[in-house]
Amino acid sequence: MDGKGIMTRVVDMLRTIAPGAKIVAFSAVREDAVRIAAAYQKSALSITTLGLPVMVGMSMTAEPLLRFAFGEKWLAAAPILRWLSWAIIPTLYTGPLAALAVTLQRVRILTRLLVIELCVKFPVMLIGIWYYGIAGAVVARVLIAMMVAAGSMMAVRELIGLRVRDQLLGSWRPTTSAAIMAAVIALFEGAWGDASGLHLPIVVIVGATVYAGSMFLLWSVTGRPDGLESHIAKVLTSSVQRIRKVVAR
């Protein structure tokens, strides 16, 4: 399996995050424009919160990840894995679009986006491959992903009136946290080097800790709004209370 195969499995996993739950959530508020916009942003925020650190982390640890999973012979695929990770990131911000279109019975808008993507993808990919080979194909994939994300955001605006700016700013917490995580990983890797087989797991632990810490810090600073963090906090609080009861006995 090459870098593209890894990305395919990860993307499939991210695209199937509770699709039925999203449709049910949108159906419950489909008649209320304000509530369905809020539900869409909440769903997009959850997908971005889960997917963004994975993609950024895979991009930054492409070489040690391939070395750990497949050995030295696959290191040549590291640049491909790195850039394909970035190509997935724009799609995370519009993850709930399909569920939203189905709920509002506007599936035709998805067909329109698919046709536009196909019309643009083939010539751009062919030009990239013709002049720059695999590198050109990967860069073309990134550009196409950005174009599709922009078109998807305009489709969301058409469906529920949610501005593109609000869609982008709706996921500012995971975006900021992922940037902080990336900076810490870069500093850590620069200091650690690649001298030990523990390099990858340590980087993963450090990155996950920094990302989660940043997310909960920003969530607390902004007044603890309802979202994925609040659900995790409730679960953790409930677990601590149960442990205390067991210990007290």
Q: What is the reported pLDDT for 23?
A: 57
Q: What is the reported pLDDT for 20?
A: 47
H and E: helices and strands count for the chain = 11, 0
Place of tokens 């536009």: 116
The whole-angstrom separation of Cα 41 and Cα 118 is 27
Pair of tokens at residue 78? 């590291």
249 residues of the chain, pLDDT tens digit each:
444 454 555 445 444 444 445 554 666 666 677 888 888 998 899 999 999 999 999 998 888 888 888 878 888 888 888 888 899 999 999 989 988 888 888 889 999 999 988 898 889 999 988 988 888 888 899 999 999 999 999 999 999 999 999 999 999 999 999 999 999 998 887 666 555 566 788 888 999 999 999 999 999 999 888 878 888 888 888 887 788 777 776
One-character DSSP codes across 98-122: HHHHHHTT-THHHHHHHHHHHHHHH
How many other CB atoms are found less than 10 A from the CB of residue 212?
16
